[in-house]
């Protein structure tokens, strides 16, 4: 049955649902004053349920792994539909620690991941250097996690917009920023994909903003080549990740519980640059190309809110650090819900679980 579907929010979740729904034959409008921007534009683009995982967040890891399984086909279909690359990189992830405390923490992570059946290998000296020659000389041990991938978030957003347009998605620039605007939407079904702002539209939803800053570095002539793998590091207890792009890399990410503000701080940029150049010293010669902050939509348990909340409204929000990773499975779940066939795998993300 062809329905009129209004999607509130044009980030990676909203655009993925929009493309899939339009492709399935629905009449789709996306309501966002600035689609393809917001926190999806800021993101690092890691598809990394293994290395993002931590004890106590098993359900989030399992959901991430389910979505990652869908990613290669998703990227292939999207590229074909958009007529441009989806930006997927398949080189895998390395994880390193700078000091003995960091390495001890990684050892515990390996034990937990191995017990959960995840593919993790420890690399020493030469093997580590062969994988990523630019690592600081003092880093003599690391983890290889070949299954954790990455995607160029801006290429992805561009491809999603192109594929959506080809499938007939209509963009509406007027914001849907409060409950009255939501009620006024002329649609058979509504998908709420408003990220960290979703509680403005549906008050009481347990989604809060967690600011993250990222720095984008460009390669310069004469500088060492950028890394080919995603490199995650613990730097004296602080997490940093370095995600390759065609023209350099993205370095992230700070986490600040400072409400709806996306000011870039001196301390945040300082820490990112200190940690990144401690891991890959050659980055000091790269261009400091951009710094930007966004708001992750976080829930109390680190799992998103995906599912129906009333006869006309389906939630697809609260993806925290993992909106891009979870976009394929979220879109599958929303389309299944709209077709009246909810996905059992998504039970852990049911919107009513905090009630």
Which residues of the shown chain bind its own copies in the complex (CB under 8 A)? Answer: 217, 220, 263-270, 273-274, 276-277, 283-288, 291
Residue 268 Cβ vs its own copies, minimum distance, rounded to whole Å: 7
Closer residue to its own copies in complex, CB, 275/332: 275
Give me the phi and psi of 150, to 5 degrees please. Answer: -150, 160
Smallest separation (angstroms) from its own copies to the CB of 120? 30
- Backbone φ and ψ of 316, nearest 5°: -150, 80
Decide whether 144 or 262 has the Cβ nearer to its own copies: 262
Q: How far is the CB of 287 from its own copies (least distance, A)?
A: 5
- Residue with Cβ nearer its own copies (255 or 277): 277
* Shortest distance, position 158 Cβ to its own copies, whole Å: 25
Q: Minimal CA–CA distance to 15: which of 336, 352, 334, 347?
A: 334
Name, in order, each residue with C-beta under 8 angstroms of 295's C-beta and a sequence gap of 6 or more. Answer: 39, 195, 196, 197, 209, 210, 211, 212, 260, 262
Q: How far is the CB of 228 from its own copies (least distance, A)?
A: 19
Give whichever of 236 and 270 is closer to its own copies, judged by the CB atom: 270
- Whichever of 58 and 287 has its CB closer to its own copies, that residue is 287
Residue 338, SS3? helix
Q: Which helix (H) or strand (E) holds 275?
A: helix 266-279
A 10 A CB-CB count for 174 gives 9
Closer of 124 and 270 to its own copies (Cβ): 270
- Cβ closer to its own copies: 63 or 273? 273
- H/E stretch holding 210 reads strand 208-218
Kindly state the tokens that stand for 153: 């978030």
d(CA 319, CA 322): 5
Nearest CA among 198, 218, 217, 216 for reference residue 208: 198
In whole angstroms, the minimum distance from the beta carbon of 156 to its own copies comes to: 25
Contacts with 82 (C-beta within 8 Å, 6 or more apart), sequence order: 158, 159, 160, 162, 163, 166
Tell me the closest approach of the beta carbon of residue 239 to its own copies, in angstroms: 18
């Amino acid at each position: 049955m062809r329905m009129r579907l209004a999607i509130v929010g044009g980030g990676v979740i909203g655009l993925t649902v929009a493309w899939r729904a339009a492709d399935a034959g629905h009449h789709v409008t996306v309501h966002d004053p600035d689609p393809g921007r917001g926190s999806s534009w800021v993101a690092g683009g890691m598809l990394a349920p293994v290395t993002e995982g931590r004890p106590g967040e098993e359900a989030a890891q399992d959901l991430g792994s389910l979505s990652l399984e869908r990613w290669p086909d998703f990227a292939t279909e999207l590229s074909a539909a958009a007529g441009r690359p989806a930006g997927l990189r398949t080189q895998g992830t390395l994880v390193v620690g700078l000091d003995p405390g960091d390495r001890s923490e990684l050892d515990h992570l390996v034990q937990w991941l191995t017990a959960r059946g995840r593919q993790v290998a420890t690399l020493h000296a030469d093997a580590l250097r062969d994988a990523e020659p630019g690592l600081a000389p003092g880093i003599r041990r690391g983890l290889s996690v070949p299954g954790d991938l990455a995607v160029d978030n801006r290429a992805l957003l561009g491809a999603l917009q192109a594929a959506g347009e080809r499938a007939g998605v209509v963009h509406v620039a007027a914001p849907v920023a409060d409950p009255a605007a939501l009620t006024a939407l002329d649609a058979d079904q509504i998908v709420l994909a408003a990220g960290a702002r979703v509680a403005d539209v549906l008050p009481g939803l347990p989604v809060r903003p967690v600011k993250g800053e990222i720095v984008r570095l460009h390669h310069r002539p004469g500088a060492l080549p950028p890394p080919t793998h995603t490199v995650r590091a613990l730097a004296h207890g602080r997490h940093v990740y370095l995600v390759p792009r065609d023209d350099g890399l993205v370095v992230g990410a700070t986490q600040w519980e400072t409400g709806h503000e996306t000011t870039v701080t001196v301390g945040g940029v300082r820490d990112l640059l200190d940690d990144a150049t401690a891991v890959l010293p050659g980055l000091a010669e790269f261009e400091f190309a951009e710094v930007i902050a966004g708001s992750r939509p976080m829930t109390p348990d680190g799992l998103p809110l995906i599912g129906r909340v009333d006869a006309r409204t389906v939630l697809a929000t609260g993806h925290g650090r993992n909106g891009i990773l979870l976009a394929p499975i979220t879109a599958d779940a929303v389309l299944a819900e709209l077709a009246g066939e909810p996905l059992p795998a998504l039970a852990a993300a049911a919107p009513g679980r905090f009630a």
